[in-house]
Amino acid sequence: MRRLRLSIFGAVQGVGFRPFVYRVARELGLKGWVLNGAFGVVVEAEADESVLSAFAQRLIQEKPKAAVIAAVESVWLEPTGFSGFEIRASDRAEKPSAWMLPDLATCPECLAEISDPGQRRHGYAFTNCTLCGPRFTIVTGIPYDRPNTTMSGFPLCPDCRAEYENPADRRFHAQPIACPACGPRLWLEEDGKKTEGNASWAEAASLIRAGKIVAVKGIGGFLLLCDARSSEAVARLRQRKRRNEKPFAVMFPDLDSVREACEVSELEEAWLQDAAAPIVLLRRKPGSGTVAPEAAPGNPQLGAILPYAPLHHLLMRALGFPVIATSGNLSEEPIAKDNPEAQARLKGIADAFLMHDRPIARHADDSIVRASRGRQLVLRRARGFAPLPLRTARELKPVLALGAHLKNTVALGWRRQIVVSQHLGDLETAASLEAFRAAVKDLCRLYGFKPELAACDLHPDYASSRHAESMGLPVVRVQHHHAHVAGLMAEQDIAPPVLGVAWDGLGLGTDGTIWGGEFLVVDEKGFRRFAHLRTFPLPGGDAAIREPRRCALGLLHELGADLGRLEALFPEGWEAARALPKSALLSPRTSSAGRLFDGLASLVGLRQKNSFEGQAAMALEHGVDAAELGAYPVALSAGTPIVADWEPLVRAALEDVDRGAAPGVVSARFHNGLARLILEVARRAGLERVALTGGVFQNAYLSEKAAGLLEEAGFQVFTHQRLPPNDGGISAGQAFVAGLGWHGLEA
């Protein structure tokens, strides 16, 4: 007889892991116990050594589908004489660790249950089990037990209690378990009228069918829903939400309806139906009229999502057609999550409110993914993904990383893991700053985390940087593009040295100028700026981010070219505009790849003003003629750092435009030229590993072109998968750099 202690690290709480262990142990006749520990699950069992070895193997091989096992530590001990096998109360003595499960989409069993009139949960909007339902958005503490969730205020009725305590039931120890007799309630409010119970979602469906906008409280906050087929309804939502052209996500009733509107690969089908249930960017089918053009104006892609909560399934079955499903907020504000907050903030946007009384502990937007290089690329990491951590190969000091100013996330790093928060958004408004500060406190409290360091961006005026400085901790300032590369290194365990190609809109450089087209050599000592794009003036500074025509003005001024071709783009104030690039104060210089994209989009005639970030660059990518193999040249200087001179590229593009070349041809030659530039710089750097990161590499065409050329030449290429390449991955990189003691300044 031996006693085996198994410490199982991973996402093993809230997925039915303890009941699974219990059943396997009883089947093998083991004696002992299982409990939720601070880091995961702890098991002790007694039996013959060979039986225990088989037991440990089965736990790994037969684990619940939603469980993620990161590591297993086993210790052989002397037996103590357990009398049976039991599920023990959770261990509260240790500080919690990183492995908490995200919210999980409704499983097939629960979906069948709410659809069956013979079941007691028929039509019940809060049905779940150990395999599905809310997790991260309801948990208030670890270990994950009902008293540590927002379900603590809903005592179990006798029927639910019987399921909860029955090892043979799929709701055995399902913490959010509920039914109509004991669980949360649903109601609809419209013009002072209140409709309760199942009639509430049926009435909400009727309102949507009639062209109304309904705010629906979901898993991580409120969504705004309207008929996606109706140009009038979608236009009204855009006007009220102050979101002129940025694409809306569309929720479809089922996979067949997605196929009617979009081209869907096998991989994309799997992502749509995954337990994470993200928004998946898909190519629209030409001529499909199932979704109004106003859902994503001028965009060949559509963000598609399937119902992921019982309430969504009930609504979509009642409707039978796609609906806009966008975050319940005004543009640039965080999503509303509480009932009074939603009624105050969404007044004037929503015609009615479908609400419930299950509190949401923390907001979580829908995650967004797309296909790139035949893999899943996460563009926004929130519901369904957060807060699963990154596991690092090296030990980290306890560090709180405050992220960037746009697409903000915050991160905790300690031991061999980094926990990245859900997407928090741009820190541009008072509401977003309040949500940011609350998220920092919440994440530290949830994990009982006491940082020894605060990490932030090098830019002193970012709200996140100022918050780091206010915490009374030693502050590590990490250069923006260094953090981009470090985040990818942490995500994929890339051994240094690496050539990091960090291309984005902007980030403060160590020389006080605006960087954005960087080639960095990164190792344990820090980073070295190996090469960068040639700088050019950014007329009006931040205004150029909103107006690609200003970027075009800066490029032509830098070349000494005739500015007159742009006069028609500035119908008011042309003389003042043309003088801007001459002012160093009003037109800071930048090496930004993102602004180079904007400038070319303007010169090609695709976009002169952006109504949302990256709109012009997206237009360039969407317009690529993939059959065009030509490439514009880029010149490389000698010396250190190498300067990648885009002048030949821009001049060649202008010649093509003047000859009447199609925008798709110009765009393809532009992208192909940049991909060849990356290859040439990599050859000069002479490093085996190349990491492509930064917001520009959300562009799947550029990523695939550059990676293909690099791999053909024998380089090992890394692109993001689990972390966004945009600024949503910055906090993880900051935590990695600061936690390892790599300084954030140039080596």
Average pLDDT score, the chain: 93
Q: What is the pLDDT of residue 320?
A: 97
Q: What does the alpha-carbon distance between residue 699 and residue 324 come to, in Å, rounded to a whole number?
A: 24
pLDDT(11) > 80: no
Q: What is the pLDDT of residue 36?
A: 87
| 278 or 428, greater pLDDT | 278
Q: Which CATH class for the 530-688 domain?
A: alpha beta
Dihedral of alpha carbons 84, 89, 90, 91, sign: negative
pLDDT(695) > 50: yes
pLDDT in tens, 65-120: 778 775 676 777 678 899 999 999 876 544 555 457 789 899 999 999 999 999 99
Q: What is the pLDDT of residue 333?
A: 82
C-alpha pair distances (Å), 666 with each of 245, 265, 674: 24, 28, 12
Confidence of residue 211 (pLDDT cuts 50, 70, 90): very high
Q: What does the alpha-carbon distance between residue 141 and residue 501 come to, in Å, rounded to a whole number?
A: 39
Instruction: CATH 3.90.870.10 in the chain: give the residue spans.
Output: 186-356
Helix, strand, coil content of the chain in percent (nearest 5): 35, 25, 40
Amino acid at 425: G
Q: Which CATH class for the 2-87 domain?
A: alpha beta
Q: What does the alpha-carbon distance between residue 672 and residue 127 come to, in Å, rounded to a whole number?
A: 51
Q: What does the alpha-carbon distance between residue 350 and residue 342 come to, in Å, rounded to a whole number?
A: 10
Going by their DSSP bridges, the two strands 193-196 and 186-190 should be labelled as antiparallel
pLDDT(263) > 60: yes
pLDDT in tens, 347-405: 999 999 999 999 999 999 999 999 999 888 999 999 988 988 787 878 999 999 999 99
pTM metric for this prediction: 0.90
Buried b / exposed e along 549-577 (16+ C-beta atoms within 10 A): bbbbbbbbbbeeeebeebeebbeeeeeeb
pLDDT in tens, 600-622: 999 999 999 999 999 999 999 99
Q: What is the pLDDT of residue 31?
A: 96
Q: What does the alpha-carbon distance between residue 461 and residue 427 come to, in Å, rounded to a whole number?
A: 12
Q: What is the pLDDT of residue 173?
A: 86
Instruction: CATH 3.30.420.40 in the chain: give the residue spans.
Output: 530-688
Instruction: CATH 3.30.70.100 in the chain: give the residue spans.
Output: 2-87
Homologous superfamily of the 186-356 domain (CATH): DHBP synthase (3.90.870.10)
Confidence of residue 747 (pLDDT cuts 50, 70, 90): very low
Contact call for residues 309 and 384 (beta carbons, < 8 A): no
The token duo for 267 is 């991989």
